[in-house]
Chains A and B, each alone.
Chain A
């Protein structure tokens, strides 16, 4: 993938991007959640 042949490396890059995407999606989906006074179970 993108010139990297060892799966142990490109899977690492893929996961780094997936986790970054997860941070973005989580932040957007919960943009207005968690205001003081609301229940927050995390």
Chain B
């Protein structure tokens, strides 16, 4: 984006001063381990809701998935349905309250710690911690890449400087201020995002002549769908793709289900339920969280699709044709730059910076606590100490930065979907079982976690062609980019791995109950 750099630099400096100030406040209020790990368990409900939402919504959700909506149309709204229905309502009401209550009772301070204590098993803590330590850096690197690309294009500074500077500022307040600093800064960032997205929605409809006019114009563009997309099943930007087509499968299984369900078992979000003192705070947070997510993804996907109308009216081309070098990530920035007043361009850029920082800070904190507390700590004392956790956080940040330099730049939205899919496949059945069973079965949890993780990696490496072709393992071992043909190679790993991990949980549970019953009968017989 090209805007008044002086204005943007000035507003960015004010923003950074506020962020550093809130980070310092978090640092001052961090006295004990519980403060660093779970924000002292006394966070305000509004701060919780904004922090949860701002962590949930990264720049990739707005720019990356907004760009996907420009390409694939308004069908992306189904992801918003799941984001609000599952990601907020079900997450807070059916998982959040139990997580908070059980987490308080067991004095759990991280998601792997919660799993370990619920199942009374160090294995569960190690295993969950290891999945996070191995999987989360990929997602973190994608967020870093997105943030650095954005800073490079707006401030015209070298990519390496942008990436390192961006990581260093976030690292500073995460490492020193822990979760209190993360959540305070998240709340400010969430507020900026809300303002930015609200203005974006209103100005877009004004620019396109009204709500009905904009939608009618978009629906009337169905004959302009590019041939390649039409062959893949796209019927227009105000209609769903043809049922069962490859675009329909990608939209429904990877984007809607993969991301929509994946959010339920994300460790960096689950830990937030343990930061409030009672369920009342969670009830109140639901009221803020629902509308917040509607204004984030709902607006991004609607405006994303409507950019087609703007570019067609202004330049006679579709949004995809207006993208720089065909990169869908550039559609939303190009649209804002071309159609919005300068002042709003600056506000929106700050909102994007805030979205990237809020997600990144939470990922840094979760990776650091997983490595420093869940994976390493058990070799030492039971009580957590902040110093090794801070050192582990620094180590995970360095790993993520190195990965960000290695990974391709076009991986942002895909890495987001992949991470959410992995979390759901590995953790969701085990997490739900721990929250809803009075005597959760360790055997079933182990079977589910291992099955979900292995199935997800196998499908990703050998079948889902968008990843397997890039990873190259399938080609190396079998000489083909994917071992199964269409439509299987378009089906997201989550759609296969989650039912398998759920089935593994049920089988393990049945076996466990059978063994318990047999043992009881044996004891009774012996007596």
Listed in ascending order, the chain A residues whose CB lies under 8 Å from chain B are 2-6, 8-9, 12-13, 15-17, 19-20, 22-24, 26-28, 30-36, 40, 42
Binds A, one of B190-198, B288-296, B350-358: B288-296
Instruction: Pick the contact of B84: A20, A28, A42 (CB < 8 A).
Output: A20
Whether B80 lies near A16 (C-beta < 8 A) is yes
The reply on B287 being an interface residue by CB < 8 A is: yes
**Chain B interface mostly helix, strand, loop or mixed?**
helix
Complex CA gap A9/B211 in Å reads 15
Q: Within 8 Å CB of B287, what residues of A?
A: 23-24, 26-28, 31
Per CB-CB distance, the 9 closest pairs between chain A and chain B, nearest first, are A27-B287, A23-B290, A34-B279, A3-B215, A6-B239, A30-B283, A3-B216, A12-B77, A34-B280
Instruction: Verify if B97 is at the interface (C-beta below 8 Å from A).
Output: yes
User: Which B residues are in CB contact (< 8 Å) with A22?
Assistant: 89, 290
State whether B77 touches A2 (Cβ < 8 A): no
Which chain B positions have C-beta within 8 A of A16? 77, 80-81, 84, 294, 298
Partner of A9, one of B97, B240, B282: B240
Known: A23-B84, A40-B279. 19 other contacts (CB 8 A): A3-B215, A4-B215, A6-B240, A8-B240, A9-B238, A9-B240, A12-B78, A15-B85, A16-B84, A19-B85, A19-B89, A20-B290, A20-B291, A23-B88, A23-B291, A27-B283, A27-B290, A34-B280, A34-B283
1/0 per residue, CB under 8 A from A, across B479-513: the answer is 00000000000000000000000000000000000
Q: Is the CB of B84 within 8 A of A35?
A: no
Q: Are the CB atoms of A42 and B94 closer together than 8 Å?
A: yes
Interface residues of B (CB under 8 A from A): 73-75, 77-78, 80-81, 84-85, 88-89, 93-94, 97-98, 101, 211-216, 218-219, 236, 238-240, 277-291, 294, 298
Contact (Cβ within 8 A) B283 A9: no
Q: Are B93 and A42 in contact (CB under 8 A)?
A: yes
**CB–CB A20/B294 < 8 A:** yes
Inter-chain contacts of A27 with B (CB < 8 A): 283-288, 290
8 contacts between A and B (CB under 8 A): A4-B74, A5-B238, A9-B239, A19-B84, A20-B84, A27-B285, A27-B287, A42-B94
Determine the residue in chain A with the shortest Cβ distance to B295: A20
**Most chain A C-beta atoms within 10 Å of own C-beta, residue among B98, B214, B238:** B238
| Cβ–Cβ contact B75 & A8, under 8 A | yes
CA distance A24 to B280 in the complex (A): 14
CA distance A15 to B280 in the complex (A): 26
A19 to B215, CA, bound (A): 22
- Please tell me which one of the listed residues B73, B84, B280, B298 contacts residue A33 in the complex, with CB atoms under 8 A apart: B280
CA distance A33 to B277 in the complex (A): 13
Question: Which residues on A sit within 8 Å (CB–CB) of B215?
Answer: 2-4
Q: What's the nearest-Cβ distance from chain B to residue A36, in Å? A: 4
CB distance from B269 to the nearest CB of A (A): 16
Distance A42 CA – B74 CA, assembled complex (angstroms):
34
Q: Is the CB of A42 within 8 A of B98?
A: yes
- Cα A30 to Cα B279 in complex, Å, equals 10
The residues of A that contact B213 with a CB separation of less than 8 Å are: 3
Q: How far is the CB of B453 from chain A (nearest CB, A)?
A: 29
In the assembled complex, which residues on chain B have CB atoms less than 8 Å from the CB atom of A12? 74-75, 77-78, 80-81
**Which B residues are CB-close (under 8 A) to A15?**
81, 85
Instruction: State whether B279 touches A4 (Cβ < 8 A).
Output: no
Distance between B70 CB and nearest chain A CB, rounded to angstroms:
15
Q: In the assembled complex, which residues on chain A have CB atoms less than 8 Å from the CB atom of B77?
A: 9, 12-13, 16
Residues of A within 8 A of B85 (CB): 15, 19
Q: Which residue of chain A has the shortest Cβ distance to B85 in the bound complex?
A: A19
Q: A20 to chain B: which residues have CB within 8 Å?
A: 84, 290-291, 294
Quick check: A5 and B219 within 8 Å, CB to CB?
yes
A23–B286 touching, CB < 8 Å = yes
Q: Which residue of B lies closest to A25 (CB)?
A: B287
A24 to B286, CA, bound (A): 7
A3 x B75 contact (CB < 8 A): no
Q: Which B residues lie within 8 Å of A40 (CB)?
A: 97, 101, 279
Alpha-carbon distance A19/B87, docked complex (angstroms): 11
Give chain B residues whose Cβ lies under 8 Å from the Cβ of A5: 219, 238-239
Q: Given the complex of chains A and B, what is the CA–CA distance between A24 and B294 in angstroms?
A: 12
Q: Which of B89, B219, B236 contacts A3 (CB 8 A)?
A: B219
Chain A contacts for B81, CB-based, 8 A: 12, 15-16, 19
Given A9-B74, A9-B77, A23-B88, A36 contacting B277 (CB threshold 8 A)? yes
| Separation of A28 and B290 alpha carbons in the complex (Å) | 12
Question: In the complex, what distance in Å separates the CA atom of A35 from the CA atom of B215?
Answer: 45
Contact A34 B238 (CB under 8 A): no
Q: Are B74 and A26 in contact (CB under 8 A)?
A: no
Q: Which residues of A contact B289 (CB under 8 A)?
A: 23
In the bound complex, residues from chain A placing their C-beta under 8 Å from that of B101 are 40
Q: Which residues of A contact B239 (CB under 8 A)?
A: 5-6, 8-9
Q: Which residues of A are found within 8 Å of B212, using beta-carbon distances?
A: 2-3
**Given the known A-B contacts A12-B77, A19-B89, are A4 and B84 also in contact in the complex, defined by CB atoms under 8 Å?**
no
Q: Are B286 and A33 in contact (CB under 8 A)?
A: no
A13 and B298 alpha carbons, distance in the complex (Å): 8
In the complex, what residue of chain A is closest to B278 when comparing beta carbons? A36
Q: How far is the CA of A13 from the CA of B219 in the complex (A)?
A: 15
Nearest chain B residue, comparing its CB with the CB of A30: B283
